[in-house]
Amino acid sequence: MPLQPASLQFAADGTPFSEAYGDVYHAAEGGLGQARHVFLAGNGLPERWRGRERFVIAETGFGAGLNFLASWAAWREDAARPGALHFVSFELHPFRVEDLARLHAAWPELSPLADALRAHWPPLAGGMHRLHFDGERVCLTLYFGDVREGLAQLDACVDAIFLDGFSPAKNPEMWSAKVFHLLSRRAAPDATLATWSVAGAVREGLRRACFVTEKAPGFGGKREMLRGHLFPHPRRGDARPAPPAAHHAIVIGAGAAGSAVTARLAARGWTVDVIDAESGPGQGASGNHAGVLRPQPSFDDNRMSRLTRAGALYGWRYIGKALAAGGPLQAAACGVLHLARDAAQARKMASAAARLALPGELLRYVDAAEAGEIARWPVSFGGWYFPGCGWVRPPSLCAANLAAHPQYIRTHWMRRVAAIARRGERWHALADDGGTIAAAPVMILAAGTGLAGFAQAAPLPVIAARGQVSVLPAAPGSAPRAVVCCGGYVTPEVEGRRCAGASFDVDDADAHARLSDQQANLAKLEAILPGYTAGLDAAALGARVSFRPVSPDRLPMVGAIPAVEAAAPPASLAALPRHDGLYAVSGFGARGLAWAMLAGETLASRIAGDPLPLERELVEAMDPARFLLRRRRRWAANMTESDEG
């Protein structure tokens, strides 16, 4: 269901008010004072977070973001603050950014932080959004949607809970037994909570969810508030193995996948050894002159659609920061057109866009006339337009990733990893002569199609797909000015050239450019932009061939590598044994740019023990072990058939 943004209104005394719920957003005596007294002091902050490597706060209603801004300000002011502050919040009706600006004007002391929040405010699309602030030491994970659905999808271990939202009488779903039990399941063993409500139903609901509560002096006109903690229980919370004491990892592969996870680990202060057989980053499947970074919508908003949308949003936020900082990255959010191939598909695409009802800055349907204006070339049909997306030079993204935190990254170029081995507490990357190139407690295999060459990754069904891209000469400012797709793609001019293509052939090991593929790419280009290929000679064009790692279901593989040898693996992902400290990030196929940065953040978060930036079901959809569960289902079916025989 499309999001319904909040409608900003004010009560007679100037307090922000929701007509939909008939309640105010904070106490009339002052929202900042309430945030500090009820939620920070009520959770024993900042004292409780001191000396921690990270501290995680979960909030049940984001509203104007005042509790987040107050927490961030307190973190900044505390000399003994934790290294990282994670703030996770849920909001069914988020404010538009212009309304946030009006609200934030009431707290000028928070203006630098509020300005930064609004500058990175995401499009109002459902799901999780991850934002980084303050040198990436403050992380805001927003879930736009129902808090019950968001908590069910949250993968985090929470240290403090801010129970906020409209009153239980006005918004009972926010204070339901389901919410309390989900919070209990996500809470760390020593978690605390605080809320301004002392309603009997709230206290009883929290008690049933294993929280011990007590009344405390309230704020402003409220005589009392509630604070509490989780009742000690050895099986409570999202317990998971602690990250290694030595924050050190090896990444094999310096393409889009490997450089992304390297950058995200280095941002957390991890030392990373990057090993690649080439002389520099992005020379394999990530070596094309230009590629496309955009979502892949669907009528039913399936996992592919949601993953590519989340990946595109996170990727362009990352790219925007990197471009602003300068450096080697080359990219442009020039817009991407995905044209329909015929009138019937155009109607379907228009229907899908209407059903998804995403913000216009993310996706809208355009007719043939507007599409032609965007492309600067007449086209036959309309289609989807992604205004905030565009092209990226993949090798420059890889280089920018490795340059982002150079003090933590060590590169080993022209080194081929022949095998990997676990010796004691560390993984060793071994050269052809058996010598160790590097050793660390954590190893990440991001070697593209080379993943299949490591014995430990044998259970993963990586497929090599041959792709040939054609490279055309291009004059500056020539059409198309946006990326245009339809069964293929063509980019704008990038340093005197543009890319068009591409082929996608499985079980084809030919590394040489083929004239037939050049001709096929020109045929795709002609179908996209009628009349465009006149005068182009396929034999005279440049070309590049690469081999992309693809999974059978076309979704990426991101996570711990399974260690299963039995004929019947366990029945759930959680029960599958894994190689300790060994991970894979692969299977991107033709969507490497859309997935790389978010996949890197997801895996780095998992390894470091941070809250994950994606819903659980999407993380599980990327789990490399998912194919073993499918194998189990086939095994069980065969056993049943055998028994029946």
Q: pTM for this one? A: 0.94
**Residues 41 and 111 reside in one and the same domain:** yes
**Residues 374 and 400 reside in one and the same domain:** no
**Residues 631 and 619 reside in one and the same domain:** yes
In a domain, 290, yes or no: no
Is residue 48 predicted with pLDDT exceeding 70? yes
**Which residue, of 519, 550, 581, is where some domain finishes?**
550
Q: Identify the CATH number of the domain in which residue 176 sits.
A: 3.40.50.150
Is residue 636 predicted with pLDDT exceeding 60? no
In a domain, 645, yes or no: no
Is residue 1 predicted with pLDDT exceeding 80? no
**Which residue, of 514, 529, 550, is where some domain finishes?**
550
Residue 46 near residue 73 (C-beta atoms within 8 A): no
Q: In this prediction, what percent of the chain has a pLDDT beyond 70?
A: 95
In a domain, 237, yes or no: no
| Beta-bridge partner residues of 320 | none
How many independent structural domains does the chain possess? 3
**pLDDT on residue 644:** 36
**pLDDT on residue 640:** 39
In a domain, 288, yes or no: no
In a domain, 213, yes or no: yes
- Owner of token pair 């100037």: 14
Q: Read off the pLDDT of each residue in 430-435 and give the average, rounded to a whole number.
A: 96
**Residues 179 and 271 reside in one and the same domain:** no
Q: Per-residue pLDDT tens for 361-401?
A: 999 999 999 999 999 999 999 999 999 999 999 999 999 99
List the domain range (segments joined by +) for residue 362. Answer: 295-323+330-391+468-550
**pLDDT on residue 642:** 36
**pLDDT on residue 619:** 98
> What ranges make up the beta strands (E) of 349-449?
364-366, 383-386, 390-392, 409-412, 419-423, 426-430, 436-440, 442-445
Is residue 238 predicted with pLDDT exceeding 70? no
**pLDDT on residue 635:** 44
**Residues 517 and 608 reside in one and the same domain:** no
**pLDDT on residue 30:** 78
**pLDDT on residue 286:** 87
Confidence of residue 639 (pLDDT cuts 50, 70, 90): very low
Q: In this prediction, what percent of the chain has a pLDDT beyond 90?
A: 84
**Residues 363 and 385 reside in one and the same domain:** yes
Residue 425 in 3-state DSSP? coil
In a domain, 515, yes or no: yes
**Residues 163 and 275 reside in one and the same domain:** no
Q: Per-residue pLDDT tens for 466-500?
A: 999 999 999 999 999 999 999 999 999 999 999 99
Q: Which residues contact 415 (CB under 8 A, 6 or more apart)?
A: 275, 276, 277, 431, 437
**Residues 361 and 475 reside in one and the same domain:** yes
CA atoms within 13 A on the CB side of 528: 27
Pinpoint the alpha helices (H) of 417-574.
515-528
**Residues 22 and 117 reside in one and the same domain:** yes
In a domain, 511, yes or no: yes
Q: Identify the CATH number of the domain in which residue 442 sits.
A: 3.50.50.60
**Residues 614 and 599 reside in one and the same domain:** yes
**pLDDT on residue 243:** 73
Q: Per-residue pLDDT tens for 146-193?
A: 999 999 999 999 999 999 988 888 899 999 999 999 999 999 999 999
Q: Per-residue pLDDT tens for 510-547?
A: 999 999 999 999 999 999 999 999 999 999 999 999 99
**Residues 38 and 166 reside in one and the same domain:** yes
**Which residue, of 550, 574, 597, is where some domain finishes?**
550
Q: Per-residue pLDDT tens for 595-625?
A: 999 999 999 999 999 999 999 999 999 999 9
**Residues 204 and 342 reside in one and the same domain:** no
